[in-house]
Structures are given as structure tokens and as C-alpha cells.
Amino acid sequence: GIYQNVNDAARKLDIWSQQYTVRHRMNGTTQERQQAHQDQELLTLAQNKVLKAWAKWLGMVGFPVSRKTMVPKMKLLCGR
């Protein structure tokens, strides 16, 4: 690889204060925040992706992307 070990990578990338986070992620003992807290999210990652695509479509066809246009779609996706 590019780096000899985690310490080498942290030093060269100037993220020394995050070396333990990097090490844990490389070892698979911790996850990114979004993945770690997925069970607390209202929408799944897939539902969130659909909502983002829908918002982009609204913008492309000239509809305003606002709370009024997004909330009904979000409720439909999450079942609330």
C-alpha cells in the first residue's frame, strides 16, 4: 500500500489526533456515524437515496424543493 501502517498514514495525512479512529475503522471495530446510528434514523440509506433523487427531479422540472413538497414524500417512504 501507500503507507506502512496506520501511524505512518496518520502522520503523513496530518490526522494524528484521529489515528485511533482510523485504526478502529480499518480493523472493522467501529463504523461511520451514519452507519452506526442507522437504527435511530427515520429513513434507511436506500430511502434517503430515493428522497434525494426525488428532490433533484423536483429541482430539474422547476418545482420548489421545500418542506411542503418534501414532507409528504418522506412520510410515504417511512410509513408515518
Q: Terminal CA-to-CA distance of the chain, rounded, Å?
A: 47
Residues 26 and 45 in one domain: no
Residue 74 to residue 38: CA distance in whole angstroms: 16
19-36 pLDDT tens trace: 888 788 777 787 777 777
Q: How far is CA 38 from the centre of its chain?
A: 10
Residues 73 and 47 in one domain: yes
Q: How many domains does the structure of the chain reveal?
A: 2
Residues 50 and 26 in one domain: no
Residues 25 and 43 in one domain: no
Radius of gyration of the chain (CA): 19
**What residue numbers bound the domain in which 61 lies?**
39-78
Residues 45 and 74 in one domain: yes
Percent of the chain with pLDDT over 90: 21
- With a cut of 80, say whether residue 74 has pLDDT above it: yes
Residues 25 and 45 in one domain: no
On whether residue 1 sits in a domain, the answer given is: no
40-54 pLDDT tens trace: 777 888 888 999 999
